[in-house]
Structure formats: structure tokens, C-alpha cells
């Protein structure tokens, strides 16, 4: 049983981080730096992004992102998710973790790296009315869409499976607005009400579209190329992610909520993952090492946190 657990743990860590020890090479940089970062210990961002529900939130965010035809065109035309899905996942995780736990200089540098990649993502797509429109990953509308989808997914899944948030939902949305600003979002929401309003504004504007590209992406997300031993747990989390999506958006995606108790089942799976991986996070541990070093260097001075107001 111990050998099985060790094997499953190694495979899970490799899937999530690209490293069987669960510590990617870039995590070491989080120990460096001269401040506590944009958020710091006790923040809403640390609580949400350090929770197990992030695994389900990632699935929900990918599903919801497909509803914008401009975003879907960028993924279809430029992403290598079919050939290297874990590589794309690792790149997203690297940005999320770095902005959350690193010092402000490294968080800004990582966001600039993402922005440079976006500079080359351009093309055209057919909107919901069948009209051809140009797109660029740096377009204000697409940047806003991705930020809103991401924030909504992580907030919603944390509320379902991980519980309380320091400062409440508004605290998380307000803090994570800084991450949006770092990648060029002009007017990120700063409260849960603003988040819902911006989300629904896309629907009310008739932006959403479901076509064969969306169906293809949903099929891929439903059945990614994971090891067979991991698929039963993944299928439960996928069903949990679908169940967490509001009914009208599920209908747009052509998905139905399972009649099985998948919210409870997902909680069981996440609990099992927590037992395998432990409660500590290598990235959070690295951030705490940095902050402890700064406290030792300046014992009488509180280190500023650069979060947005």
C-alpha cells in the first residue's frame, strides 16, 4: 500500500509540477527577493491558491474560457495543448504561483514573460453573429475575459470545497485584481458583485458561442492524456467542476450535471490528494523562507506587502 501511495504521489507531482519531487526549478527563485510580495501570509490569495480546490478550479476555468470565440481562436491557433497539455498546464501554474508567492520584482517579471508570449498571439475568428473579427491575446476584451473566468473559477471552487477566505470573497477578488493589472487588464473587478457583473456583461453582449471548436476542447478537457491510474479521480473532479458551473453556462457548453453526488465525491478526492501531498506547499514554504530571512535582517521593521488597495 505504501509503494502504491508513493507511486501515485510521484505521478501526481510530476503532472502538476513537471518534477516527481513537486518542486519545479523556478520555485527556488521564490526564496529570493526583498519584500513579502503583493499579498503575503494571511492574505486571501495565499489561502485560495494554496488550497486543494485549485485542482478543480483549473478544470472549470478551462471549460468556461472556451465560450469566448476570440479566446477559443487563440487556443486553437496557437496553443500546443493537444501535443503538450502538461507543458501548458505547467506554464499557467508557474505564473499563478509566482505572482501569488514571490516578491514583487519576480511577480512583475513573470507577468512580463506572459505578456511577451501574448504579443505574438494574433489572428481572426468568427463571432457569435458569424462576422469575422481580428483578435490578439493582448486585446482588452480578451484580457478581461480570461481574468474574470479565472477569478470566478478559483473563488467559486474555494467556496465549495475549501471554506473560509481571509477578508471574504471580496477580499480575494480585490487582491487578485493586482494580478490582472500585471498582465494588462484595464478594469479588473474589485468585489464579488463587480465580478458577477462583468461576467454577465459578456453574456448580455451576446459574446458567447458554442461551436465545434468548443466541443473539441471540452472533449479534450473531459479526457486528457493522463495516466490510466489517475483518470478515475480526474473524472470525479471533472464532474465536480461541471456541477459547480451555473446551469445556464453548463447548457451553453453542452454539459449536464451528473446525478451522482459529485460535489461530495470531489471533496473525498481532494481529501485523498491532501493526504498524499501533505498540507504544505513548496512554493508557500519558499515564500516563508524569504520572509523569515527578511525578518531576521530587519527584526524591528515590518516588510511591506505590495497588494492592491
With beta carbons less than 8 A apart as the criterion, state whether 133 and 125 touch: yes
Alpha-helical (H) ranges within the chain are: 2-17, 44-49, 54-65, 69-78, 85-101, 104-118, 140-161, 168-182, 192-204, 212-222, 231-244, 247-253, 262-277, 282-297
Which parts of the chain are beta strand (E)?
Answer: 122-126, 132-136
Per-chain mean pLDDT for the chain: 85
Predicted pLDDT of residue 293? 92
Residues 210-229 have pLDDT tens digits of 888 899 889 999 998 888 88
Based on its alpha-carbon atoms, the radius of gyration of the chain, rounded to whole angstroms, reads 19
Predicted pLDDT of residue 9? 47
What's the rounded mean pLDDT across residues 266-272? 94
Residue 111: closest CA among 38, 40, 51: 38
Predicted pLDDT of residue 135? 85
3-state SS assignment for residue 54: helix
With beta carbons less than 8 A apart as the criterion, state whether 173 and 155 touch: yes
Please state the pTM of the whole predicted model: 0.87
- Of 102-116, 150-164, 289-303, the one with minimum mean pLDDT is 289-303
Residue 15: closest CA among 135, 7, 153: 7
Please state the separation of Cα 144 from the chain's center in Å.
15
Please give the Cα distance from 22 to 27 (Å, whole number).
10
Task: Tell me the residue length of the chain.
Answer: 309
**What share of residues in the chain are helix, strand, coil (percent, to 5)?**
65, 5, 30
What's the rounded mean pLDDT across residues 269-273? 90
Which of 264 and 200 is assigned the larger pLDDT? 264
* Percent share of the chain, pLDDT over 70: 83
**Start-to-end Cα distance in the chain:** 49
Please give the Cα distance from 156 to 113 (Å, whole number).
28
**pLDDT greater than 80 at residue 103:** yes
Residue 8: closest CA among 301, 256, 231, 280: 231
Predicted pLDDT of residue 288? 94
Please give the Cα distance from 225 to 85 (Å, whole number).
8
What's the rounded mean pLDDT across residues 192-203? 94
- Tell me which residue has cell 471580496: 170
Residue 175: closest CA among 196, 151, 157, 198: 151
**pLDDT greater than 50 at residue 6:** no
In sequence order, the β-bridge partners of residue 132 are 126
Largest CA distance in the chain: 63
With beta carbons less than 8 A apart as the criterion, state whether 22 and 16 touch: yes
Predicted pLDDT of residue 63? 94
Amino acid at each position: 500500500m505504501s509503494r502504491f501511495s508513493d507511486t501515485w504521489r510521484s505521478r501526481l507531482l510530476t503532472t502538476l509540477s513537471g518534477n516527481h519531487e513537486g518542486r519545479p526549478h523556478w520555485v527556488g527563485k521564490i526564496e529570493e527577493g526583498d519584500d513579502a510580495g503583493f499579498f503575503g501570509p494571511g492574505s486571501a490569495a495565499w489561502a485560495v491558491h494554496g488550497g486543494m480546490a485549485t485542482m478543480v478550479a483549473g478544470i472549470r476555468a478551462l471549460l468556461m474560457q472556451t465560450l469566448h470565440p476570440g479566446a477559443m481562436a487563440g487556443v486553437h491557433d496557437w496553443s500546443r495543448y493537444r501535443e503538450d497539455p502538461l507543458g501548458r498546464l505547467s506554464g499557467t501554474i508557474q505564473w499563478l504561483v509566482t505572482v501569488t508567492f514571490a516578491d514583487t520584482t519576480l511577480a512583475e517579471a513573470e507577468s512580463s514573460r506572459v505578456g511577451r508570449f501574448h504579443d505574438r498571439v494574433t489572428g481572426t475568428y468568427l463571432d457569435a453573429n458569424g462576422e469575422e473579427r481580428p483578435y490578439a491575446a493582448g486585446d482588452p476584451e480578451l484580457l478581461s475575459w480570461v481574468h474574470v473566468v479565472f477569478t470566478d473559477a478559483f473563488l467559486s471552487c474555494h467556496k465549495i470545497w475549501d471554506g473560509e477566505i481571509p477578508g471574504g470573497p471580496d477580499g480575494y477578488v480585490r487582491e487578485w485584481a493586482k494580478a490582472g493589472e500585471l498582465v494588462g487588464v484595464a478594469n479588473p473587478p474589485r468585489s464579488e458583485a463587480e465580478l458577477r457583473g462583468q461576467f454577465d456583461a459578456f453574456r448580455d453582449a451576446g459574446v458567447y458561442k458554442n461551436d465545434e471548436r468548443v466541443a473539441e476542447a471540452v472533449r479534450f478537457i473531459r479526457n486528457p492524456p493522463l495516466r490510466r491510474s489517475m483518470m478515475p479521480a480526474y473524472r470525479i473532479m471533472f464532474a465536480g467542476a461541471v456541477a459547480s458551473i451555473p446551469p445556464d453556462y453548463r447548457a451553453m457548453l453542452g454539459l449536464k450535471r451528473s446525478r451522482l453526488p459529485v460535489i461530495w465525491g470531489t471533496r473525498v478526492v481532494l481529501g485523498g490528494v491532501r493526504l498524499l501531498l501533505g498540507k504544505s506547499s513548496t512554493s508557500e514554504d519558499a515564500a516563508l523562507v524569504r520572509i523569515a530571512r527578511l525578518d531576521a535582517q530587519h527584526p524591528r521593521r515590518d516588510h511591506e506587502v505590495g497588494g492592491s488597495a
